[in-house]
Structure 1
Amino acid sequence: MTLPAHPIVLIPARLASTRLPGKPLADIHGEPMIVQVWHRAMEADLGPVVVACAEVEIAEAIEKAGGQAVLTRPDHPSGSDRIYEALQAVDPQGRHDAVINLQGDLPTLDPGIVRATFAPLADDAVDMATAVCEITDDEERTNPNVVKAVVGFSPDQDIGRALYFSRATVPAGTGPLYHHIGLYAYRRAALERFVSLPPGVLEGREKLEQLRALENGMRIDAARVDTVPLGVDTPADLERARNLLR
């Protein structure tokens, strides 16, 4: 079992945000937030990093910082569709055998979490990989905005097979619950298959895109990590990110 040899990190980004308009360009210590995320991705040191942009303003910010950006259609329904278009543009020859999909609103992300998310792909049977963190806040156990991953980790393992994802409090019984972190690593063929699939029944019910993969027999493994990265969705989140990076 060996990891894919030539991964690429793709960061989808668009300006449309109802709670924080222009979010990718929000200033954090003199740099747009999307540039801070690009820095974290570069620090993970897994491969080249490309930002898949819906607007030229984002591309200009990344290129000014010395990074690489690709303009994509503004009307993609999901980040997965956006990164797939970008992948075809930057690597039409198919050199990159794995893709890490990194959200563009995680400016304080620990690069170690990115590397941990990639690690499950060392198992040839795994199509996609993601990350989870044990829930320690009781409020999160019942909060539908906190997505739970159902993973049965063996006592001595930090990688396990994801059996389901839900906004409900699952699984039942005594034991830990896991907060799903929305980072993904795909084998290239798995990403190509995923974006070709129609939306799933459970995906529509839970409003969770990853269920499309499970409904179609794809295997997702999850890496257990110690912290949940701060996702910036509101002005208060933005101020927290500024404080953390100060």
Structure 2
Amino acid sequence: MSVLIVVPARYASTRYPGKPLVEIQGATGEKKTLIQRSWEAAKSVSGVARVVVATDDDRIRAAAEAFGAEVVMTPESSRNGTERTAAALDALGAEADQYEIVVNFQGDAPLTPSWFVEDLIAALRANPDDMMATPVLRTSEEALAGFRRDRSEGRVGGTTALMNRHGHAIYFSKEVLPYGGDAGPTAKAPVFHHVGVYAFRPEVLQKYLSWPEAVLEKTEGLEQLRFVENEERITCVEVDGRGKHFWELNNPEDLPVIEAVLADEKVA
């Protein structure tokens, strides 16, 4: 049995239309689209059998195929990356039976380190009863200040996660939670940045499609809350950033941040 990575990409983003085709400049001045940089990040994960881009848009399909990606066309009705990941698995038909783990590698997170995904895969293999896992990153002072600045200026920034003592998700929010939380390894109530990558067993993806869109999911705009509302356990795996700056492309204002990281890390 093997691992499939799906990189979902939607052109009609509410906050940032056309986002997958936005060009991002690397350290050498070369520009690549967001979807290409996200696909390249997904391809860097070790121990993965296959990486596909899942979309409903011919512009994204053409761009992805031009840089060598395998593309799976999915329905326009897919409302989020998890639904699109499940749809891509369905579209593979009998081929899907060979995959023990399916990863939703968000198409707007090109700075996702390979070991974040590798840690999720290892966690699911070590715990056969767990159906899904997602990474959380203990915030630095700089990252936490960025979260709070986004909220104070009315921007939708990163997502925070709350877990119980067993490491299972209690809640996710676009607000900075917990209230009064601090950063750093000695914080009494640390703030954890939720990294929007998910590793699933195929059966839980099918359950997700069978549930109606959840109230909290619609309110927060966070697809993973459908699992929380339906009492499906989400295992949060604390990952080590290893000094690497992680950020997603949520708003146009995030573009220079990502380009600065690529320049600093000498990524072409």
Q: Shorter-chain TM-score category?
A: 0.7 to 0.9
Q: Distance in 1 between matches of 2:108 and 2:38?
A: 7
Match of 2:131 in 1: 127
Deviation at residue 244 of structure 1 after TM alignment: 2.6
What is the percentage of aligned positions where both structures have the same residue?
34
Deviation at residue 88 of structure 1 after TM alignment: 1.3
Deviation at residue 43 of structure 1 after TM alignment: 0.5
Helix, strand or coil at the partner of 2:208: helix
Any unmatched runs of 5+ in structure 1? 155-159
Query: How large is the RMSD of aligned CA atoms in angstroms?
Result: 2.5
Match 1:24 to one of 20, 24, 37:
20
* Aligned residues between the structures: 237
Q: Distance in 2 between matches of 1:102 and 1:70?
A: 14
1:7, 1:98 within 8 Å by CA — same for their partners in 2?
yes
Helix, strand or coil at the partner of 2:84: helix
Match of 1:116 in 2: 119
Q: Distance in 1 between matches of 2:137 and 2:19?
A: 25
Any unmatched runs of 5+ in structure 2? 25-29, 182-187, 264-268
Between 75-84 and 96-105, report the one with greater CA deviation: 75-84
Helix, strand or coil at the partner of 2:122: helix
Deviation at residue 172 of structure 1 after TM alignment: 7.6
1:63, 1:69 within 8 Å by CA — same for their partners in 2?
yes
Helix, strand or coil at the partner of 2:249: coil
1:163 counterpart letter in structure 2? I
Deviation at residue 182 of structure 1 after TM alignment: 1.2
Match 2:9 to one of 4, 9, 13:
13
Match 1:237 to one of 233, 239, 254:
254
1:10, 1:52 within 8 Å by CA — same for their partners in 2?
yes
Match 1:105 to one of 96, 101, 108:
108
Q: Distance in 1 between matches of 2:218 and 2:250?
A: 23
- The 1:177/1:244 distance shift into structure 2, 3 A limit, reads closer
Task: Tell me the TM-score normalized by structure 2.
Answer: 0.78
1:66 counterpart letter in structure 2? G
Matches within 5 A, 1:144-183: 145-152=157-164, 160-166=167-173, 167=175, 169-170=177-178, 174-183=188-197
1:170 counterpart letter in structure 2? P
Deviation at residue 25 of structure 1 after TM alignment: 1.5
2:169 counterpart letter in structure 1? A
Match of 1:157 in 2: none
Task: Tell me the TM-score normalized by structure 1.
Answer: 0.84
Deviation at residue 56 of structure 1 after TM alignment: 1.2
